[in-house]
Amino acid sequence: MGYSKSTRKLYDLGRKEYVTEYLPYSVKRDAWMGTLTQDNLVVTGGLVTAGRQLKLLFLRCWSEYTGTTVFKITQTNVGGEVGSAPEGVVDYIMLEAAGAEVLGPVDIKRPIHVLEGSWVIQIVEPKSADAGASKFGVAWWGVEEQPPE
């Protein structure tokens, strides 16, 4: 005697179609800590496999710098665009003084950002000459979908 199998479908706003809800996901993560060696320093990023999306579930940006620090997340879509996430600036995270901004961890159904193609996080303020020996850091983790078929 067999058993009845049911699958739950969710509407994917990026792809504009129903997809099967499933686990596991492929976990991606990275962290960087250092000083500003150049202006607009790219400190981390990634390339999302074509046809997939990275759901960012945790993000921490911090700075020892006493002035304003701005982290910029940019998506370039190199590697293929999946759905409706256009290339360009995704977010600016601003610290008005030394300290940290911590986003998450959040539920997989309510990610901080959904990224496709290639993306980077860079420090756009302060300028490297102004930062001196101040340390900066970024840590993030998320999940990349793995279609079950």
pTM: 0.82
Predicted pLDDT of residue 24:
61
Domains and CATH numbers, the chain: 26-144 (2.60.120)
Residue 118: strand pairing partners: 47
Predicted pLDDT of residue 22:
67
Predicted pLDDT of residue 41:
96
Using CA atoms, how far residue 7 sits from 44, 72, 83, 144, 148, in Å, is: 37, 39, 23, 20, 12
Name residues of the chain where pLDDT drops below 70: 1-2, 14-15, 22-24, 78-85, 146-149
- For 100, other C-beta atoms within 10 Å of its C-beta total 11
Q: Rg of the chain's alpha carbons, rounded to an integer?
A: 18
Q: Which two tokens stand for residue 98?
A: 């030394």
